[in-house]
């Protein structure tokens, strides 16, 4: 069973309906059916006080702006191998310092060769939280790589899944 409109709702509808003009060739909308209004007016509705404004602390800006994710269309083309993965870097067996140096040099060299997409294999680690897998996104956000890296995304399962990363490179300028 539908409930009838309250008097406040009828007033509000009348205000809204007064602002509407019918389209050419149409008649004005009929007034909504009045619900059974109470015979004796009840106590006036309490006026709602404006909600207090809560001022939260401003969020601190990220220290380093990380490159954005690869555009969805570009990632789809890489996954379906319509855009080739030009080079692959395997970081297995390297410690953090060597892996970072290898990654920075690899990406700079790949961009200088005009390559647009590379695959970096980090591995997952023994429990799925490998050190290289965890740190590689931070390394990709390095300020020295801003002119090189357009974006990154974890790879599709056929290319290594969570243990590999697609890196989109900017055009050399």
- Mean pLDDT of residues grouped by 10 in the chain (173 residues)? 83 83 74 53 61 60 58 85 89 90 93 91 82 89 89 88 89 77
At residue 49, the pLDDT reads: 61
User: Coil, helix or strand for 121?
Assistant: strand
Instruction: Give the H or E element holding residue 7.
Output: helix 7-18
What does pTM read for this prediction? 0.59
Residue 103 burial class via C-beta count within 10 angstroms: exposed 0-12, middle 13-18, buried 19 and up: buried
At residue 16, the pLDDT reads: 82
């Amino acid at each position: 069973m539908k409930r009838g409109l309250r008097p406040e709702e009828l007033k509000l509808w009348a205000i809204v309906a007064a602002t509407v003009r019918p389209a050419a060739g149409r008649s004005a909308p009929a007034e909504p059916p009045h619900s059974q209004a109470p015979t004796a007016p009840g106590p006036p509705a309490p006026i709602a006080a404006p909600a207090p404004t809560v001022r939260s602390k401003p969020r601190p800006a990220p220290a380093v702006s990380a490159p954005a994710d690869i555009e969805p269309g570009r990632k789809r083309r890489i996954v379906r191998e319509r855009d080739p993965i030009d080079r692959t870097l395997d970081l297995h067996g390297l410690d953090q310092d060597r892996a970072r140096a290898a990654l920075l040099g690899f990406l700079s060299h790949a961009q200088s060769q005009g390559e647009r997409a590379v695959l970096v294999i980090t591995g997952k680690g023994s429990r799925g939280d490998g050190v290289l897998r965890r740190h590689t996104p931070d390394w990709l956000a390095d300020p020295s790589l801003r002119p090189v890296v357009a974006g990154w995304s974890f790879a599709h399962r056929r290319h290594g899944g969570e243990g590999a990363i697609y890196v989109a490179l900017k055009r050399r300028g």
